[in-house]
Structure formats: C-alpha cells, structure tokens
Amino acid sequence: MTAERGVSGSDRSASIGRPLRVAHLDHTSVTGGAELALLRMLRAEPTWSAVVLVAPPTGHDGADVYAGLPAEVPHLVVGVRQPAGASRGGVGAAVGLGLRLAAQAIRLRAAAPFRHADLVDANTARAAAFGALAVRLSHKPFVVHLRDLVDPGALGRSGHALMVRVVLPRADGVVANSRATLESARPYLRPGAVAEVIPSASGLRPAPKSTSPDAASGCLGPVRTVGMVARIDPWKGQQLLLEAFATAFRVGDARLQFAGRPLFGHEQHLDDLRRRAAELGIADRVDFLGHVDEVAALIADWDVAVQASTRPEPLGQNVLQYLAAGRAVIAADEGGPREWIVDGENGLLVPPRDVEALAAALRRLDADAPLRARLADAASRTPGLLDDAAVAEAHAALYRRVIASVDARRDASRR
C-alpha cells in the first residue's frame, strides 16, 4: 500500500486499475447476526474485491456460515481459536484473551490476503481487537463495525476496555448499526475518523402487495400467529414473550413461533423455555423452529412480530426484517428499534422488560384488527430500509471516504 500513498480514495481504484481489495475479519464462522450480515452483503455483488479471514472454529458449533459465500470470495481460516465469553471472565480470562488476540494478530500479519489488502474491515468487536493489533505499523486503513453498544454490559469488562483503549483510538473508520451505537463510541474515536450509521444487511425484501380485499380494508380476523426471530439466548427475550403470550392468549387457537437456535452454550435455555411453555399450559401452541433460512417467507405468515430483548438492542435486525415484511410490530422502547418505530404509526413500542405491557400490546392488536392492518401497511413504507445491495453501496462509499481521509492525513504529516 505504500506505493498508493497520496492517491485520493475516490481515485484509488482507477489509479491501480482494479477494484479495492478489502480483507474482512471475523472471530467466528458460527451463524450469528454479524456473520449473516457480512454474508448477505458479500452476496450482493459489492464493487470491491473481498476476502474473509476468520479464526478457527471454537468447537461448540460445526456450522460454517461462510460456506455460503460466492465462489469469487475466498474464505480462509487463519490463526487461533477465539472462544466465546472470554471478555467476561476474571483476570485469568483477560490474560488468556490477550494472548489469543496477540497470536491471532501475528498470524494475520503473515497471511498474504491481509498483506495485499488495501483496507481492513473488522466485522465484530473481537475481530476488531486482533485487527487493531495486526494493522499497527502496516499503514492499512482500518474500519471497525460496531454492532453492540460500547459499554461493559454489552461487551464485557475486558471487551469494553479493549474497545475503548485499543480499537477505537486506532480506527480510521467506524460503521455503526444505529445512532445509539455510534453515540456510545464517539468519545473514544480518534480525531478525523470517518463515522457513519449503516444498518446491517438483513436480507430485506419489499413486502408483497396484498390482493386480499379484507386485508386492504383492514377487516382482518383475530391474531393467529405471533412470532420472534432471534437466536435462543436469555437476553433476547424469548421467555418474556412466552409469559406475555400466555397472559394475552390464555385460551384460543393463536400460536407462538420462535425462529432461531441456541448459540454460545445456551442449549439449556431452550430446554428451560420448553419446560416453561408446558408449565403455562401452552406447549401445544408454541413452536421452536430452530434456524430458518427463508426468514422473509416465515415472517410473512405472522400477524404480529415481536422484539423483546431484555437489554438495549444496538440495532435489532429482526425489527428491520419485520418492518420490510409489512407486519404489525411490537418492540421494546429502547436502543436501536426506537430509531425505526414511531409508536402507533408503523408499530407499537412497549416499556422494556415488562411482561404486562407486552401482553397488553398483544391483546390490543388482537382486538383491533384495523389498527393491526394500518401498522402493517405503514411498516413496509418505513423510510431508510435498505436491501443488501444498497447496504453494500453504502459501505463502498464509506471505504472510499476512509481511504481518502487516511491519505490526506499522511500527506499532511509529510509536509
């Protein structure tokens, strides 16, 4: 990259006669929200030349989300395992985390795709930690994806310390998934860092136009199916929704569906949810669907879609999917979702962690079919919803701005 110094970001591709080469870093290939977002974006035919460099599997899940990458996008396993939860342990865990990050950075620096990259993009907080170490003294522009709020509750104490002391001060560019996420990071950004809010690629598709006269007039029947898309995890709110559904639909035929599987050691939580559904007497009306590939088709069959996370969601990809699908949405009134939903206009916002409030919202939508139809119609017209190709275009523009900013800073330092 040394030979390219002084070339503006907008002209760099033309000056070197090829697309920019971007190395995307990840710490896992398990099918999580961040990994799916990167996969979707790279499937959308971006204008840059991409390679994904990922740490070895952790052993808790044999799935490899990046096996779904297009053939022209290499996917290379490089370095050492980065087990989940290491940023939340004590001193011993912190020391182990530091050693693994250093080893990963060394291995990355030796990898040819990393050495030849024009820009490095870290897809997750853990990848940003070893990426920040790897790019040091390499003169490569470094972009960090912020998919979690920058606070100890979201990142863990060690993870938060790494983010604010090592990662953000070295980032040339930041992609935040919401305004709330970006504002949590601003105090730690270096002067001149390019920072932008770009929603994660969520596989959004326009809601099909309804041909049903009943749907068009808002004369719908009672709620038949309530659903949630989220990995099975205690903080994602499945138990909260389970309790609220049992309160709102104690009798009747309404069904509750959970799409998502347990990751990162939360298999016991799935068993607990099944047990609780039986205790509430609704086990025969609750479906645990596991991982679902065709999420949009599933959501299209729901009458009400719910986000009920018990801590603030930085974005809430599921909320974007619900809105784009034209569903009546209920979401917790905090974090990223409140940036997308205007209460009573394109969805309902409820106090977070409040079973009774969530149950009341479910009852309201069940009893008021015209409201449900109006919210569903407005949901698909929510401003700012981007398909994956538009997300990729936004990233390409940000990469150009980052490179131009880095080149300008280097030119100024030589004067």
Per-residue pLDDT at 95:
78
Is pLDDT larger for residue 17 or for residue 316?
A: 316
Strand partners, 227: 257, 305
Query: Domain map of the chain by residue range?
Result: 2-202+387-414, 213-379
Q: What is the pLDDT of residues 156-207, one digit of tens each?
A: 998 999 999 999 999 999 999 999 999 999 999 999 999 999 999 999 987 6
Note the pLDDT tens digit of each residue in 344-367: 999 999 999 999 999 999 999 999
Q: Which two structure tokens, joined as six digits, stand for 187?
A: 């105090």
Would you place residue 8 in the very low, low, confident or very high pLDDT band (cuts 50, 70, 90)?
very low
pLDDT at 62: 56
Q: Do domains 2-202+387-414 and 213-379 have the same CATH topology?
A: yes
Helices then strands (H, E): number in the chain?
A: 16, 13
Lowest mean pLDDT among 84-98, 106-120, 237-251, 271-285: 84-98
Task: Pick 289 or 315 by higher pLDDT.
Answer: 289
More confidently predicted of 11 and 190? 190
Euclidean distance between CA atoms 54 and 127, whole angstroms: 8
Segment 99-108, tens digit of pLDDT? 999 999 999 9
Confidence label for 6 from pLDDT (cuts 50, 70 and 90) = very low
Per-residue pLDDT reduced to its tens digit, 35-79:
999 999 999 999 999 999 999 976 555 578 999 999 999 999 998
Phi/psi of residue 347, each to 5°? 170, 180
Do 208 and 324 meet the contact criterion of CB atoms below 8 Å apart?
Answer: no
Q: Tell me what the mean pLDDT of segment 85-103 comes to.
A: 73
- Percent of the chain beyond pLDDT 70? 88
Mean pLDDT of the 122-135 span: 96
Q: How confident is the model at residue 91 (pLDDT cuts 50, 70, 90)?
A: low
pLDDT band at 320 (very low <50, low <70, confident <90, very high): very high
Report the pLDDT value the prediction gives residue 92, as an integer from 0 to 100.
62
- Classified as helix, coil or strand, 127 is helix
Is the distance from CB of 326 to CB of 380 less than 8 angstroms? yes
Residue-level pLDDT at 10: 44
> How much is the pLDDT for 212?
43
From the number of C-beta atoms within 10 Å of its C-beta (0-12, 13-18, 19+), residue 334 rates as middle
Q: Select from 232, 368, 247 the least CA-distant residue to 288.
A: 232
Assign 32 a pLDDT band (cuts: 50, 70, 90).
confident
- What is the structure's pLDDT at 11? 47
**Buried/exposed code over 97-123 (b: 16+ C-beta within 10 A; e: otherwise):** bbebbebbbebbeebebbeebbbbbbb
Cα separation, 258 vs 232, in Å, equals 8
> How large is the average pLDDT for residues 316-340?
96
The secondary structure of 336-364 as a DSSP string is GGGGT--BTTTBEEE-TT-HHHHHHHHHH
Q: How far apart are CA 13 and CA 18, in angstroms?
A: 6
Instruction: State how far the Cα of 44 lies from the Cα of 182, in Å rounded to an integer.
Output: 25
What pLDDT is attached to residue 9? 42
Distance, in Å, from the CA atom of 386 to the CA atom of 12, rounded to the nearest integer, reads 27
Q: Which fold has domain 2-202+387-414?
A: Rossmann fold (3.40.50)
Contact, 226 vs 303, CB < 8 A? yes
Question: Residue 253 and residue 223: Cα distance in Å, rounded?
Answer: 9
pTM (predicted TM-score)? 0.85
Structural class in CATH, domain 213-379? alpha beta
pLDDT band at 13 (very low <50, low <70, confident <90, very high): very low
pLDDT of residue 82: 81
Enter the tokens of residue 116. 């030849």
The arithmetic mean of pLDDT across residues 317-322, rounded, is 95
Query: What is the per-residue pLDDT for 61?
Result: 53
Choose among 357, 348, 351: nearest CA to 378. Answer: 348
Does residue 239 have a pLDDT over 90?
A: yes
Separation of alpha carbons 286 and 270, rounded Å: 12
What's the chain's average pLDDT?
89
**Residue type present at position 95:** V
Sorted by sequence, the CB contacts under 8 Å of residue 137 that are 6+ apart come out as: none
- What is the rounded CA–CA span in Å between residue 222 and residue 219? 10
Q: What is the mean pLDDT of residues 281-309?
A: 96
pLDDT greater at residue 218 or residue 261: 261
Task: Of 92-101, 146-155, 174-183, give the lowest mean pLDDT range.
Answer: 92-101
Phi and psi of 196, rounded to 5°? -150, 150
Mean pLDDT for 386-408 is 96
